[in-house]
Chain A
């Protein structure tokens, strides 16, 4: 390969560039395909775990691009970001560094489902990610399109890339595919359609065929984005101003700071005029004309969908969000659409404050290929090809947070695979990430999958505030947490433990002052001395209220996050305790693996129906088996019994 050719496919910011040029390295431990939110986390985790890693992406200047809304987090998603952060991921830190409005959702007193969300300066966000990726040791970034993944004896061997019309083969031990919305992607704006994975970017052709050849079932999904509007052309005085929280609360458990200026968003509503303009032109929507075949998410409907499905609603809320501090682009959240440009102009102009609006870009929908995630193991490795991992939107999900969390997870497992180590698994009892993995691999998807707290049966225990307590020890063991961060973690854990002990042991004696405070909170007086924890269990009493009743200051210094953890753990102790026991049980079940050789037809005590079902579905552990409808405790007992008997016989 000629010298000039080579430099054209390298990303100039990359520090690994030098070694590349000198030694002509074409061999990597792990190759990541795609520089989206999944690919970033995957490549960083591999490189940080000590592996020579290459990140191959269509356009390196688009690394970390926010394809849609300029925000991170939300209910269910915030939990994923915190988990990612606790596991040593990058998203939380970058969100803090580039956030321009922070908001906590579900903040009722002592709520266990609080979630963080922020508006991001999307330019800064991508730049920050690019500098982190560029500065990462052992990580090379190459600009190219991956055309094919090659295997040998059922394992990944190399990838075929194309750059500037030239094809080349790169050898690797493991591959993580994070191609997002780009595979055979088709963009629609009214009757106009064109190939491309994101506005102004090309589509990726060949990769999904390659994945199909490697045994994945490929399906077609769809998502959409609203137009972008020019700020100066909008009359914000006709809208309601929405400020963020003061003070803003960070995502990251580690040492980060919110430094960018904080700015407001604006709330307005659609109206019957807007809806009328849309209704009149429905026949020109690719969604309704049949031009779009892919299935879109119901939780993120286009405005045309909302108007059709909820005809009785006279208005829908619309949030106008700034895209970046130094940009005059506004993201109008709530009007995702693929109607033709002229219709978009017509209906947007009917929105209060938008009479004179100018468009920076029209909204569009994108259809793309993704794989059926039921073809993946619980480590996100293909069931057919060893060393082949997939993560992010290609797995049928949607959302930056879902993508990033999967990316980290698949990256960790690709790294472990390349090192010849056992996979890292996460159960749904300990994390939202585990819920996501379980749901995808068990049930597949029929629409782009998004996280909701209702998917997590242990949501009272799987909270944002304790994500580090749940997961950071894993990150440390995997080598993804620095000494400094780990010390920080340990100190926090210690503060919590000590505070809990004090709350459980220290007694509050009734005094007139205390009763007065209690009365002001609408709480009954103390009739007798009580443990602090007992008082805190009263629904009306918060931790700060309790502290105001103490004669001496509370002996442990608590930051807001730690105080929150403490308050929730005490208030929900009963539930959390119960869930903890359940989690223990689940862990045991997950631990009980069903040998691949087990013949379910030989298990005594199983009904014929169940024998058939289990033979077909081949659950890998008792936990998986129990997830199958119709599998009763008695059936599990029979299976467990059979396993033990076999073990006994062979021992």
Chain B
């Protein structure tokens, strides 16, 4: 797109993590721009009313609903006496992902935006704050940018992740195409804006899922996850135990035995994996059952590889098909269990790999192990996990903005305004999904809608 939005937006408030990768001991979130002080006034508690004149203050950082998120040290610099020449605050907090992302979330709620590489310096320069001697430092900025690029390259090599990122990108372009059609071709497609609901919801969900996996990945010992799922009584726990070669999960003929997911380390192809046993997918009515299923979805979102365990004496169920439709895009295979039983149905012919086993009797487990290993080797270094915290945080923020967009649509906000908001989301995601230009959106408009009276 031929305009410099990066610079155009130099009047808004930006933030960035000024310290290295999380988790770490202390993290610094730097905020620069007109709303920096407003943020401090709203979110800082400690020692009476906060005013920018208090250059350094110790207290709590609270969320918009007033809960304490962390104890922090708050530094403030009044314009023009700051690095950027704008109002600046620095929030020194604990370097945990949860704390930093919660703080970032509050910043976004104030309309702040994650800074691009070099943006702080750019502002400094614009405001006459960068002298000749600082020129040297610009070199460092490029280094910083290179690391970001490395991250992107890394992500590009990860096939599983690419599939999902591509899906998000497609969804967002489609959304933009619908919103633009609603404006530019309103005489031909009067009510098309309603069609925006689905891509809004789906892209929000996908963004959230990728970001959630990042979180899980960070919190866990950074191992990729292999998730077992399927209907109650399919034999997930039995397979779990068989793969671990020990009796870890309770196996019982009562459907719904496993309530909470359990995970154990598993060495596969020279790599440590987390093997996860989940609650059965039941079209349950009770809240608890429903939560169990929701949780399985979360686990699948965060999985690098998943195995659908099917009771081979019963065949596919509705919810298993749903699951394949939903998560079929990521590496998985199907285990057709209970081969030892008389009522065992022949495994179906599918594009997916289907392995017939008996988890209890030990039949076919050898073969399953081999197939798993090959499949995992094919994944290469792929983990389905984003390489950087910034990217995860942009996705998380986008997910929440996309949900806002849905309520805007309900409130009857016109498509031209929704379009501007979605464009802003696309821009903020360009480091993750890549630049999306007007032409690409138009391509989609013409491919999808028969334009031209």
Which residues of B398-437 have CB atoms within 8 Å of chain A's CB atoms?
Answer: 411-414, 416-417, 419-420, 423, 435
What's the minimum C-beta distance from A114 to chain B, rounded to whole angstroms?
A: 10
List, in ascending order, chain B residues with CB within 8 A of A635's CB. 118
B416 pairs with A626, CB closer than 8 A: no
Can you report 7 residue pairs joining A to B where beta carbons are below 8 Å apart? A75-B186, A299-B446, A453-B183, A454-B184, A457-B1, A604-B138, A626-B6
B135 pairs with A604, CB closer than 8 A: yes
The distance in angstroms between the C-alpha atoms of A575 and B145, with both chains bound, is 31
List, in ascending order, chain A residues with CB within 8 A of B145's CB. 632, 634
A75 pairs with B183, CB closer than 8 A: yes
What is the interface residue range for chain A against chain B? Answer: 35 or more
B7 pairs with A633, CB closer than 8 A: yes
A633 with B119, Cβ < 8 A, contacts A106-B186, A298-B446, A298-B451 known:
yes
What's the minimum C-beta distance from A619 to chain B, rounded to whole angstroms?
A: 11
The distance in angstroms between the C-alpha atoms of A627 and B122, with both chains bound, is 16
Given contacts A75-B184, A626-B3, 7 further A-B contacts (CB under 8 A): A459-B416, A460-B416, A575-B417, A578-B12, A604-B138, A632-B145, A641-B135
A15 at the interface (CB under 8 A from B): no
Which residues of A83-115 have CB atoms within 8 Å of chain B's CB atoms?
Answer: 105-106, 108, 110-113
What's the minimum C-beta distance from A486 to chain B, rounded to whole angstroms?
A: 31
List, in ascending order, chain B residues with CB within 8 A of A604's CB. 135, 138-139
The distance in angstroms between the C-alpha atoms of A640 and B450, with both chains bound, is 46
A623 pairs with B4, CB closer than 8 A: yes
Contact of B452 among A301, A585, A622 (CB under 8 A): A301
- Tell me which of B132, B139, B423, B453 has the highest count of chain A C-beta atoms within 10 A of its own C-beta: B453
A452 at the interface (CB under 8 A from B): yes
B442 pairs with A454, CB closer than 8 A: yes
B6 pairs with A111, CB closer than 8 A: no
B51 at the interface (CB under 8 A from A): no
A582 with B8, Cβ < 8 A, contacts A604-B138, A629-B435, A645-B132 known:
yes
What's the minimum C-beta distance from A625 to chain B, rounded to whole angstroms?
A: 8
B272 at the interface (CB under 8 A from A): no
A443 at the interface (CB under 8 A from B): yes
List, in ascending order, chain B residues with CB within 8 A of A298's CB. 446, 451-452
The distance in angstroms between the C-alpha atoms of A404 and B324, with both chains bound, is 56
Contact of A636 among B122, B139, B441 (CB under 8 A): B122
The distance in angstroms between the C-alpha atoms of A301 and B9, with both chains bound, is 38
B122 pairs with A113, CB closer than 8 A: no
What's the minimum C-beta distance from A75 to chain B, rounded to whole angstroms?
A: 5
B122 pairs with A575, CB closer than 8 A: no
The distance in angstroms between the C-alpha atoms of A142 and B128, with both chains bound, is 58
- Tell me which of A74, A76, A636 has the highest count of chain B C-beta atoms within 10 A of its own C-beta: A636
Residue of A nearest to B8 (CB): A582
A640 with B4, Cβ < 8 A, contacts A108-B414, A310-B450 known:
no
A634 pairs with B122, CB closer than 8 A: yes
A317 at the interface (CB under 8 A from B): yes
Contact of B141 among A74, A578, A634, A645 (CB under 8 A): A634
The distance in angstroms between the C-alpha atoms of A604 and B136, with both chains bound, is 8
List, in ascending order, chain B residues with CB within 8 A of A575's CB. 417, 420
Q: Mark A306-329, 1 if CB is under 8 A from B, else 0.
A: 100110010011110000000000
A428 at the interface (CB under 8 A from B): yes
List, in ascending order, chain B residues with CB within 8 A of A310's CB. 450
Q: Mark A218-234, 1 if CB is under 8 A from B, else 0.
A: 00000000000000000
A113 pairs with B420, CB closer than 8 A: no
- Tell me which of B1, B7, B116, B138 has the highest count of chain A C-beta atoms within 10 A of its own C-beta: B7
Contact of A637 among B138, B183, B441 (CB under 8 A): B138
A111 pairs with B122, CB closer than 8 A: no
A59 at the interface (CB under 8 A from B): no
A295 at the interface (CB under 8 A from B): no
Contact of B183 among A106, A300, A582 (CB under 8 A): A106
List, in ascending order, chain B residues with CB within 8 A of A110's CB. 414
- Tell me which of B2, B414, B420 has the highest count of chain A C-beta atoms within 10 A of its own C-beta: B2
A589 at the interface (CB under 8 A from B): yes
List, in ascending order, chain A residues with CB within 8 A of B416's CB. 106, 111-113, 453, 459-460
B83 at the interface (CB under 8 A from A): no
Residue of B nearest to A586 (CB): B8
Closest 4 pairs between A and B when the two form their complex, measured CB to CB: A634-B118, A626-B4, A605-B138, A633-B122
B138 pairs with A452, CB closer than 8 A: no
The distance in angstroms between the C-alpha atoms of A80 and B364, with both chains bound, is 71
A454 pairs with B7, CB closer than 8 A: no
Residue of B nearest to A428 (CB): B3
B3 pairs with A306, CB closer than 8 A: no
B453 pairs with A105, CB closer than 8 A: no
B180 at the interface (CB under 8 A from A): yes
- Tell me which of A111, A306, A334, A438 has the highest count of chain B C-beta atoms within 10 A of its own C-beta: A111
A299 pairs with B452, CB closer than 8 A: yes
A439 at the interface (CB under 8 A from B): yes
A75 pairs with B414, CB closer than 8 A: no
A111 pairs with B414, CB closer than 8 A: yes
A632 with B118, Cβ < 8 A, contacts A298-B451, A457-B1 known:
yes
List, in ascending order, chain B residues with CB within 8 A of A631's CB. 4
Residue of A nearest to B427 (CB): A457
The distance in angstroms between the C-alpha atoms of A443 and B442, with both chains bound, is 15
A263 at the interface (CB under 8 A from B): no
A333 at the interface (CB under 8 A from B): yes
Residue of A nearest to B6 (CB): A633
B122 pairs with A452, CB closer than 8 A: no
B11 pairs with A300, CB closer than 8 A: no
Which residues of B1-31 have CB atoms within 8 Å of chain A's CB atoms?
Answer: 1-12
Residue of A nearest to B419 (CB): A454
A455 at the interface (CB under 8 A from B): yes
A82 at the interface (CB under 8 A from B): no
List, in ascending order, chain A residues with CB within 8 A of B452's CB. 298-301, 306, 334, 336
The distance in angstroms between the C-alpha atoms of A100 and B118, with both chains bound, is 56
B130 at the interface (CB under 8 A from A): yes
A442 at the interface (CB under 8 A from B): yes
B341 at the interface (CB under 8 A from A): no
A638 at the interface (CB under 8 A from B): yes
